[in-house]
Structure 1
Amino acid sequence: MYLDVLFKVVGGLGLFLYGMENMSSGMQKIAGDKLKKILAALTTNRIMAILMGIFVTGLAQSSSVSTVMTIGFINASLLTLQQGLGVILGANIGTTITGWLLALNIGKYGLPIVGFAAIAFMFVKGEKSRTRALTVMGFGFIFLGLELMSKGLSPLRTLPEFINLFHSFKADSFFGVVKVAMVGALLTGVVQSSAATLGITITLATQGLIDYPTAVALVLGENVGTTVTALLASLGASSNAKRAAYAHTLINIVGVMWATVIFRPYLSILAHFSDSTANMATAIATAHTMFNVINVILFIPFIGYLAKFLCTIVKDDDNGVIRVTKLSSLMVTLPNVVIDQTRTEVLTMAANIKEIFFKLEEVYYNPSKLEAYNEEIDAIEEKLDLYEKEVSDANFTILNKGLEASYVEETRGNLITCDEYETISDYLKRVSNSLMRLKKDDLELTQERKETLQKLNHMVFDFFDDINKAYKTKDRDLFMLSISKYTAIKNLYKEARHGHFDKEAQNDETIPAKLSTGYMDILNYYRRATDHVYNIIEHYAKI
């Protein structure tokens, strides 16, 4: 019998967690664009931020997802700390929707829901349809798992040793409430899912293994345990992200403290909204919702003060880590936001590359600026190295998250463009360094060669600018039209190269070997930069 109980409870819990994961990830994929637009519309209005937090958590069906996502946005400076605190407060209310889903007495329908969804998943072809089928399947697994846990725990109601064990954790005194809340917090922290422990609590209560006050105390502790996810997500993040994670924990701890102190009056208030004898599951869901709603109402006036307090206890970053993008690995909970932000960062890289082109153009006209501009070009190129690393880190992380095919394609395009842009900046830096070496050796290019390099610099810039516009607008026709510019650059390169060698072979002029080599190096660097621009055409135009 013990093995039967163990197998059903463990199996039911596994199915429940798998169902929550499927439903949550499916809802995120279906509602991803909505979530992005909602967060983009956030203002400093705390009520709006709270409403957004409720809505986002309701769509994502996970407070952990919305909280970690919010911390990621704060870490990337896309949200202010006060905006983030508003969203986190809203997430605490939004997560109570899960409790109401669990309160639905449809456990017996879990298996047919899974069956129909699985059949649909096998036969539908479109990716969106398959995502919807997986989401519904996850919904079914939640109730199938609860049903299995309920049946598994049912025999324990008659065993004296188990009755005594559960009675030792009873919310019949102040310290009893504290002890039970701590158990709830510990279990949720270990499982990393308040929905799972809420489901277990409802199952234990409906089977009569724990009474209603004990279930309410467990729910209180579960609200604290769920903050562990956010705390783990804030490790290594910016100071503002840490403040948001600490705020999430602090808000729930303070909430549990006032609810524990007035536990008996709190139960009396709950009795006006639901009857635990008539429907235990609904009563527990009501307790979960009421606690979070009251706690949020109490904290609304103090969001500003809380932000100031957190700024006092958590000092600003001073770890020497330099970040150049607004991307963060914490944003992986919303991949399409990472993808859009990546495009913005790659376009910023392009703006930096254009600046290098402009500086080189100016150097050809005014060589006296070379030394100062060479240092600035080196600094820009080093910054672009950081861009490439941060973009790669964030995007390779989301590629491992099972993205839709369209997202995978867009992510790959962003990564390829980012990598090519960084390589282009390398070659432009080499152009600058080669010019600098010639200057240090007191070697000066002839006017003809200087004009050739000026023309080449202008043509490569023009080609790069077209490709960048095509990337920005996703215009395949512009990619194709730019091929003629690639051909023109190759022809100029060949003409300059042959002209240089012909003059040397015919002894029309005598120039130092270092000057000859330096000039050819610069020609080759422009040619290679052009090839890397063309690689972007090959990817997007599929030629």
Structure 2
Amino acid sequence: MGNALNIMLNVVGGLGIFLYGMENMAHAMQKVAGDKLKNVIAIVTKNRFLGVLVGIIITILVQSSSVTTVMVIGFVNASLMNLTQALGVILGANIGTTAVGWLLILKVGKYGLPLAGIGAIIGMFAKTEKGKEKSKLMMGIGLIFFGMELMKNGFEPLRAMPEFVEMFQKFHVTGIGSAFLVAMVGAFLTAVVQASAATLGITIMLASQGLIDAQTGVAIVMGLNVGTTITAFLASFGAKANAKRAAYAHTIINIFGLLWVLPIYGIYTNMIGHIVDPSVNISGFLAAAHTIFNVTNAILFIFLLTPLANFLKKLIPDDEVKVKKYTHLDVRMLETPTLAIEQTKAEVGSIGEDIKLSLEMVKKVIDKNLSKNSDEIAEVFRIEEKADMVQKEVAELNSQILGLDIEQHFVMVTRKNIAICDQYESLTDYAERIMKVYSRLKENDLVLNKYKKEDIFMLHDAVADFFELVNNAYITNNADITMEAVKKSTDITNMYRKARKSHLDRMAREKPKPMLSTGHMDILNYYRRLSDHMLTVVEIMNI
């Protein structure tokens, strides 16, 4: 009993260290490769083959097909990726996850603990965030190897215990039926721990200790491909129809893979045996079986993505109209914070384009003396409402990003995005206020004469030009415009003072109606406030 307890403690301890190492490695890899992920995911829109390549690369980088698939579901849910593109990435993720198997067969278990120790020491003296993350990456790899070594040592005594040998022999594969049952055991274990790498590691350890044979090991490996789909399936709850289709596709693809292997199971394992002899290298045999299975499955499905997408669209009907969402931000993007941050910037940039349109509408309304019920005024109000909602959605997701363990650089970028989004929303507020003043004047049959319009348009053109400079600087990450921005802001302030003086001089001569006079001054003041907020954006960029 004591020996069995000791074995269990070693195996459970090794598994825990292995999983902790995997989590650390994946987390550090995402941070180290964060900017690269952004560039890699942009390729996916090209074609399905590139989509498969993207899935492979991202999964190798983050060391988890589940993370890749959940991320893809987030992108589909946010309408940043269509269903066919997502299916290509999922096929690639299935291939990319097999890299873990080849990592596990390296005979470096005894070096795991020293490697983790070296990583920890380097991390203590690292001065940059990047250096600390690289040390965590090294420590994570070391813990993976150390955990595998502990599991191997833990399983070793089982070979001398008849009751355990007899128990494992019950999982022996003798035909299609038993292969299916063993595969379901692998699927169940993977679904429980939600880590295919853990199931694969345990399978390799059991096989290397002779507790299960090659045929049984392959069946478990086939099953873990089905079990790993549970993560994506759970992530699709509450998602849009297209995201659910992507999750279901992941399950369908992997179940289909198991179904085509089972009828030719003996032929398949014999073929793998000609590539890697299981009697010489059982670990390599299982890793090869895992890789060839997923590569073959991807080849079979790569030409069936469109029919599969069409089938899923029939299986899962389109969503009913629900609460309108104004951005492509999605909580599932928190799996890859760097991409969520980049998408936030794109959303704020989109509001920038709306602001330019809003300013155009404002000038057109005043210039043409349009009705207070004109489409142009309605468009300015619509943009302001949209900016309010974008600000809310940006704040909600990015507040969660700030709660994650991300590099200080990304913390600063996230805070800047939130603050600049607030300033952009304020710009739409002032455009709306100008239109409200104008509408109030129209209601009282008061018209801005050509002198008042000249004052307004002098400020308007300067403000519109200022915003063009500021928005382009934000989009291109060009913070080196402070001197030019301060000059433009100062020029606008001087224009405001000049227009205000002209207005007061005319008041002394003409004695205009009070409402018209105050309305004109309000409009001038709102343009000055627009300039102030634009200068604040530049100041935020330079923090």
Same fold judged by TM-score > 0.5?
Answer: yes
C-alpha contact (below 8 Å) 2:45/2:81 kept by paired residues = no
Which shifted more, 155-164 or 4-13?
Answer: 155-164
Give unmatched runs, 5+ long, in structure 2.
none
* Deviation for aligned residue 1:519: 4.1
Per the alignment, residue 455 of structure 2 pairs with: 452
- What is residue 305 of structure 2 aligned with on the other side? 303
Alpha-carbon distance between aligned partners in 2 of 1:389 and 1:477, rounded to the nearest angstrom: 29
* Whole-angstrom distance in 1 between the partners of 2:53 and 2:487: 53
Where does residue 248 of structure 1 map in the other structure?
Answer: 250
> Which residue is equivalent to 1:358?
360
Choose which of 421, 424, 437 in structure 1 pairs with 2:424: 421
Tell whether the 8 Å contact from 1:347 to 1:472 is kept in structure 2 after alignment.
Answer: yes
Task: Say if 1:460 and 1:526, in contact at 8 Å, map to a contact too.
Answer: yes
Deviations 1:83-122 (A, max 9, x none): 3222221221121111011111211111111111111222
**Aligned pairs for 1:509-524 within 5 A:** 509=511, 511-512=513-514, 514-515=515-516, 517-524=518-525
| More deviation, 441-450/401-410 | 441-450
Query: What corresponds to 1:60 in structure 2?
Result: 62
Aligned partner of residue 486 in structure 1, secondary structure: helix
Deviations 1:18-65 (A, max 9, x none): 211222222233333433333323465433332333233223322122
Matched, 1:139 2:141: yes
Return the TM-score normalized by structure 1.
0.90
Q: 1:383 — aligned with what?
A: 386
Deviation at 1:199, TM superposition (A): 1.0
Asked if the contact 1:479–1:540 (Cα under 8 Å) also holds between the matched residues in 2, the reply is: no
Residue matched to 2:477: 474
**CA distance in 1: counterparts of 2:67 and 2:191, whole angstroms:** 15
- Paired residue for 1:231? 233
Shift of 1:441: 3.1
* Kept in 1: contact 2:338–2:410 (CA 8 A): yes
1:533 alignment partner in structure 2: 534
Please give the alpha-carbon distance, in whole angstroms, between the structure 2 residues aligned to 1:523 and 1:168. Answer: 85
Distance, in Å, in 2 between the alignment partners of 1:540 and 1:296 is 45
Letter in 1 for 2:67: V
The answer on 1:465 being equivalent to 2:453 is no
Q: How many residues align?
A: 540
SS at match of 2:19: helix
Counterpart contact for 1:467–1:479, Cα < 8 Å = no
Q: Match for residue 176 of structure 1? A: 178
Q: State how far apart, in whole Å, the 2-side matches of 1:225 and 1:375 are.
A: 52
Q: Name the residue aligned to 1:105.
A: 107
CA shift in 2, pair 1:176/1:343, >3 Å: same
Distance 2:144 2:542 in 1: 45
Alignment partner for residue 130 of structure 2, among 123, 128, 131?
Answer: 128
Residue in 2 that maps onto 1:222: 224
TM-score by length of 2: 0.90
- 2:207 is matched with 205
What is the deviation of 1:138? Answer: 0.7
Structure 1 pair 306/508, CA: closer, same or farther in 2 (3 Å)?
closer
16-25 vs 172-181, which moves further: 172-181
CA gap of 1:369–1:276, structure 2 versus 1, over 3 A, is same
Report the Cα distance in structure 2 between the residues aligned to 1:188 and 1:319, rounded to whole angstroms.
36
Distance 1:361 1:510 in 2: 23
1:445 Cα deviation (Å)? 4.2
Per-residue Cα deviation, 1:253-276 (whole angstroms, up to 9, x for no partner): 111122233333333233222233
User: What SS does structure 2 have at the residue aligned with 1:401?
Assistant: coil
Range that drifts further, 203-212 or 83-92:
203-212
Deviation at 1:131, TM superposition (A): 2.0
Percent identical residues: 49
Per-residue Cα deviation, 1:479-499 (whole angstroms, up to 9, x for no partner)? 321112222333444565677
- Contact 1:364–1:454 under 8 Å retained in 2: no
Asked if the contact 1:19/1:138 (under 8 Å) is kept, the reply is: yes
SS in structure 1 opposite 2:329?
coil
Aligned to 1:269: 271
Amino acid at match of 1:25: H
Which secondary structure does the structure 2 equivalent of 1:41 belong to?
A: helix
Structure 1 distance, partners of 2:6, 2:520, is: 81
Measure, in 2, the Cα distance between the counterparts of 1:264 and 1:246.
29
Aligned residue type for 1:276 = P
Contact kept? 1:329, 1:393, Cα under 8 Å: no
